């Protein structure tokens, strides 16, 4: 069984940066450009008998935003951590993320090493 890191962001620049930062986790990485795209890819992963190790998700995305994604993801996966990576720094929004089922919130800009350490904390 494979365990995937799912990277969700509408910016290819951010998706590639995150992928490079997390390469040394040694897990397969799937990129998605919005919440709906991520749900589709996660459903395929689970359909193949594989699993999600962690999701790194942006908030502001077209089609389905990060908060909507977390709520939907929690319906199909109660346990896999979701770490938000965003420019959003407002308390209310962070609280909403927590209530929706996020495991952590990283406000950009981020350093590759810090992101890697957060992921290592959640993925053993």
Report the interface residues with Mg ion, using CB under 5 A.
Answer: 10, 58, 60
Alpha-carbon distance of 70 to 55, in angstroms, equals 9
Is residue 14 close enough to count as binding another protein by CB under 8 A?
yes
For 50, the 3-state DSSP assignment is coil
- Please pick, from the candidates 49, 90, 109, 124, the single residue that binds another protein as defined by CB under 8 A: 109
Distances (CA, A) of 100 to 63, 103, 120: 18, 10, 22
If the CB atoms of residues 13 and 111 are measured against Mg ion, the closer one turns out to be 13
Q: How far is the CB of 63 from another protein (least distance, A)?
A: 8
Is residue 104 close enough to count as binding another protein by CB under 8 A?
yes
Q: How far is the CB of 8 from another protein (least distance, A)?
A: 13
**Closest alpha carbon to 46 in 73, 25, 64:** 73
If the CB atoms of residues 12 and 28 are measured against another protein, the closer one turns out to be 12
If the CB atoms of residues 23 and 108 are measured against Mg ion, the closer one turns out to be 108
Is residue 105 close enough to count as binding another protein by CB under 8 A?
yes
Alpha-carbon distance of 6 to 123, in angstroms, equals 13
> Tokens in use for 90?
């407002």
In the block, which residue shows the tokens 């904390």? 121
Interface contacts to another protein, rule CB under 8 A? 10-14, 16-17, 20, 59-63, 86-89, 94, 98, 102-112, 114, 118, 121
């Amino acid at each position: 069984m494979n365990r995937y890191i799912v990277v969700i962001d509408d910016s290819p620049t951010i998706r590639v940066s995150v992928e490079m930062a997390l390469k040394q986790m040694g897990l397969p990485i799937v990129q998605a450009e919005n919440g709906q795209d991520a749900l589709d890819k996660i459903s395929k992963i689970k359909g193949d008998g594989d699993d999600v190790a962690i999701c790194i998700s942006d908030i502001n995305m077209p089609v389905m935003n990060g908060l909507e994604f977390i709520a939907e993801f929690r319906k199909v996966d109660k346990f896999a951590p979701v770490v938000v990576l965003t420019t959003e720094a407002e308390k209310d929004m962070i609280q909403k993320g927590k209530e929706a089922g996020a495991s952590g919130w990283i406000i950009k800009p981020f350093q590759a090493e810090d992101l890697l350490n957060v992921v290592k904390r959640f993925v053993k």
